């Protein structure tokens, strides 16, 4: 345990020097996806102009394939301009199992994504409707949930309770973060309990499942929304397709574990196109507005 | 030499003993056996405990239930799809206290393992568990769960019927069930499949049980790209009862005899029974609102990270 405390103190000192707030303000534009000016759409193989991605809401203009999006872009496209205030800052990810290379990995993702972790949340308004909005970023270590993500998700629910607001969470995650071992697993219980607390207050929780949402996130807060929406074509499931294929020793049918499949099986309320998302969310928020007095 | 090798050596010593007739030799080999047990079979590595947790002869949930309960009536089915054999549930009486017991059940033979699906539940198993737990809440019965699973089953049917949703619902509801819950890991505590029965006021483990986010084999192959490093993975994953107690994830450990629970099942069952009775009585005396508050805080505080509080800056605009 002494070793853990020592590591803890080292990270604390380093983090003090790092100045997270400044890093965040340097955010410019999307990472990873647009490697060149023109890219081939992975679905229809047509050429897509990546510089116009924001205009097309990060979808393919030929086949409407929904590409992955950064959390910051998602927030900009979802909430009213200027209304978002990020909360829950200043968290520092630690390495409880002393996994070799994990500290470096976190640092490199922080540099690449300009985020401190795979989840951001805060206050926002959608067409004038106030809410708490949280977004997972799959570009940060596959959006996996470790101690910090679990804590921030929990805090976002607690913030929503404190403000008596509805909450919307966009999920995108490969599941629990293996590098943090049992601590990651326990975040599933922690976040689910936080959803319950929020729900007990009679408040609305909308979860929006985006590509990909699997593992420990699917098996906790992602599937606990009062209303569960999904983007078209998103991979959503508990076990990953490869694990299932290895277990049952056959290839999986086309469209298995995609949004359309889940809709058919009765696990999501609606598939919402990205173009319609903001409108749909604002309408749902409007329906649940608390009448004063 | 891992614990299974040592077990084989012990067995060969014991067979030697059987064929012996000379009294002096018998005494000396008996001494040798005792010495061997105390020197070689204590101080187990994490990997040894993984092997013991999965041991062929390790007592299963039913063995515990049969010993601990004066009577037990099994209740089947989720009322939605089918009865999942990998989870058993029912009502029993432990020393005069009526409890609902939910348990993940491994099979002892190949045939039984097929019906039990190697204790890897489908969604209907978790929904059966939830149904029975809510029934317990209605009748104000405490709940005891016995955890022993490699993990939730990864298959087509399980996905079609919402494995993720079933597990999530259990975590969600168990966090607020108005009766005391004790969770005991008796063998393998495999990931979300174990946690789905593991939200409790008291989380206990048998000494040689394990509890982890995934198998050491999986950890080694995903993070180190080498499944053969499983034993090294087990050491670093902090999956033993002692590690988890040190990390404050669990509340208590029930000791096992040298060599593991299967060397003296009755002793293990008796210790388990006494511990559960003690915990039940302690939990029963707690006021309901305090119980729920404590349970929430128990999970609320789990996490390993550091934070600077920037909240007083009012957040940042993007
Ligand atoms: Zn396309």
Query: How many angstroms is it from A73 CA to the middle of ligand 1?
Result: 20
ipTM for the whole complex: 0.93
Ligand 1 (single-atom ion) residues, CB below 5 Å = A 41, 43-44, 60, 62-63, 65
Chain A partners within 8 Å of B223 (Cβ): 99, 178-179
What value, to the nearest 5°, has the Cα angle with vertex A165 and ends A159 and A166?
105
CB contact under 8 Å between A189 and B171, yes or no, is yes
What is the average pLDDT across B78-93? 96
**Tens digit of each residue's pLDDT (9 = 90 or more) over B91-130:** 999 999 999 999 999 999 999 999 999 999 999 999 999 9
Which region holds residue A257: left if phi is over 0, alpha if psi is between -120 and 50, else beta? left
- Give the pLDDT band of residue B212 (cuts 50, 70, 90): very high
Mean of the per-residue pLDDT values of chain A = 87
Higher pLDDT, B1 or B45: B45
The count of domains in chain A is 1
Tell me what pLDDT residue B23 has: 82
- Give the pLDDT band of residue B20 (cuts 50, 70, 90): confident
- Give the pLDDT band of residue B1 (cuts 50, 70, 90): confident
3-class secondary structure, A263: helix
Residue percentage of chain B with pLDDT more than 70: 97
Chain A partners within 8 Å of B302 (Cβ): 183, 186-187, 189-190
**Tens digit of each residue's pLDDT (9 = 90 or more) over A228-283:** 999 999 999 999 998 999 888 888 998 999 999 999 999 999 999 999 999 999 99
**Tens digit of each residue's pLDDT (9 = 90 or more) over A105-147:** 999 998 888 888 999 999 999 999 999 999 999 999 999 999 9
Q: Tokens in use for B117?
A: 């699906």
**Model confidence at A288: pLDDT above 90:** yes
Tell me what pLDDT residue A2 has: 54
A12, A214, B227, B248 from B307: Cα distances, Å: 8, 27, 35, 20
- Give the pLDDT band of residue A18 (cuts 50, 70, 90): very low
CATH of the domain at A245: 3.90.226.10
**Model confidence at A13: pLDDT above 80:** no
**Domain positions in chain B:** 3-43, 49-301
- Least confident among A79-93, A203-217, B200-214: A79-93
Q: Tokens in use for B138?
A: 């209605």
DSSP string, B168-179: HHHHHHHTT-SS
Query: How many angstroms is it from A120 CA to the middle of ligand 1?
Result: 29
| Structural domain containing residue A108 | 69-292
What is the average pLDDT across B75-101? 97
- Give me the residues of B, 51-80, that contact A with CB < 8 A: none
In a domain, A21, yes or no: no
In a domain, A155, yes or no: yes
Four-way CATH pick for B49-301: 3.90.226.10, 3.40.50.720, 3.90.1150.10, 1.20.1250.20? 3.90.226.10
**Model confidence at A200: pLDDT above 50:** yes
In a domain, A4, yes or no: no
Task: Give the integer Cα–Cα distance in Å for A131 and A206.
Answer: 10
- Pick from B168, B214, B219: CB nearest A220: B168
A96 φ, ψ (degrees, to nearest 5): -65, -25
């Amino acid at each position: 345990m002494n070793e853990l405390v020592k590591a803890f103190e080292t990270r604390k000192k380093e983090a003090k020097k790092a100045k997270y707030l400044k890093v965040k303000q340097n955010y410019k534009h999307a990472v990873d996806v647009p490697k060149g000016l023109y890219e081939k759409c992975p679905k229809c193989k047509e050429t897509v102009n990546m510089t116009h991605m924001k205009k097309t809401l990060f979808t393919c203009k030929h086949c409407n394939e929904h590409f992955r999006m950064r959390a910051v872009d998602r927030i900009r496209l979802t909430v009213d301009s200027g209304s978002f205030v990020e909360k829950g800052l200043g968290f520092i990810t630690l390495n409880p199992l002393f996994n070799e290379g994990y500290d470096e990995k976190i640092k490199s993702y922080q540099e690449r994504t300009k985020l401190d972790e795979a989840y951001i949340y805060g206050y926002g308004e959608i067409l004038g409707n106030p809410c708490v909005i949280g977004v997972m970023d799959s570009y940060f270590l596959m959006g996996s949930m470790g101690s910090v993500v679990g804590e921030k998700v929990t805090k976002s629910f607690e913030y929503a309770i404190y403000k008596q607001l509805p909450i919307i969470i966009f999920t995108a995650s490969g599941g629990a973060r293996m590098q943090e071992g049992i601590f990651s697993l326990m975040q599933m219980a922690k976040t689910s309990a936080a959803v319950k607390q929020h729900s007990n207050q009679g408040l609305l929780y909308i979860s929006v499942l985006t590509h990909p949402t699997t593992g420990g996130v699917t098996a906790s807060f992602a599937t606990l929304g009062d209303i569960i929406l999904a983007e078209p074509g998103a991979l959503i499931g508990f076990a990953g397709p490869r694990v299932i294929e290895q277990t049952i020793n056959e290839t999986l049918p086309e469209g298995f574990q995609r949004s359309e499949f889940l809709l058919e099986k009765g696990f999501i309320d609606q598939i919402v196109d990205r173009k319609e998302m903001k409108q749909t969310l604002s309408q749902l928020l409007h329906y649940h507005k608390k009448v004063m007095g | 030499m891992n614990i299974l090798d040592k077990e084989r050596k012990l067995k060969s010593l014991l067979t030697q003993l059987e064929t012996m007739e000379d009294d002096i030799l018998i005494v000396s080999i008996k001494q040798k056996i005792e010495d061997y047990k105390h020197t070689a079979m204590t101080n187990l590595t994490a990997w040894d405990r993984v092997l013991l947790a999965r041991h062929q002869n390790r007592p299963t949930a039913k063995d515990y239930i049969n010993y601990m309960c004066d009577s037990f009536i099994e209740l089947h089915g989720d009322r939605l799809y089918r009865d999942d054999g990998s989870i058993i549930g029912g009502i029993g009486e432990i020393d005069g206290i009526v409890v609902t017991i939910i348990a993940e059940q491994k099979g002892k033979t190949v045939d039984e393992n097929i019906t039990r699906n190697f204790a890897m539940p489908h969604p209907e198993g978790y929904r059966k568990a939830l149904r029975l737990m809510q029934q317990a809440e209605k009748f104000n019965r405490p709940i005891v769960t016995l955890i022993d699973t490699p993990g939730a089953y990864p298959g087509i049917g399980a996905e079609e019927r919402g494995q993720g949703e079933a597990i999530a619902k259990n975590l969600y509801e168990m966090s607020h069930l108005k009766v005391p819950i004790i969770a005991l890991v008796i063998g393998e505590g495999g990931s979300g499949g174990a946690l789905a029965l593991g939200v409790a006021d008291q989380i206990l483990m048998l000494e040689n049980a394990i509890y982890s986010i995934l198998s050491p084999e999986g950890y080694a192959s995903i993070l180190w790209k080498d499944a053969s490093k499983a034993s090294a993975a087990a050491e670093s994953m902090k999956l033993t009862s002692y590690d988890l107690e040190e990390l404050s994830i669990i509340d208590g450990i029930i000791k096992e005899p040298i060599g593991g629970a299967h060397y003296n099942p009755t002793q293990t069952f008796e210790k388990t029974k006494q511990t559960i009775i003690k915990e039940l009585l302690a939990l029963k005396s707690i006021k309901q609102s305090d119980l729920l508050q404590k349970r929430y805080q128990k999970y609320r505080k789990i996490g390993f990270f550091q934070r600077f509080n920037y909240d007083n800056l009012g957040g940042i605009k993007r």
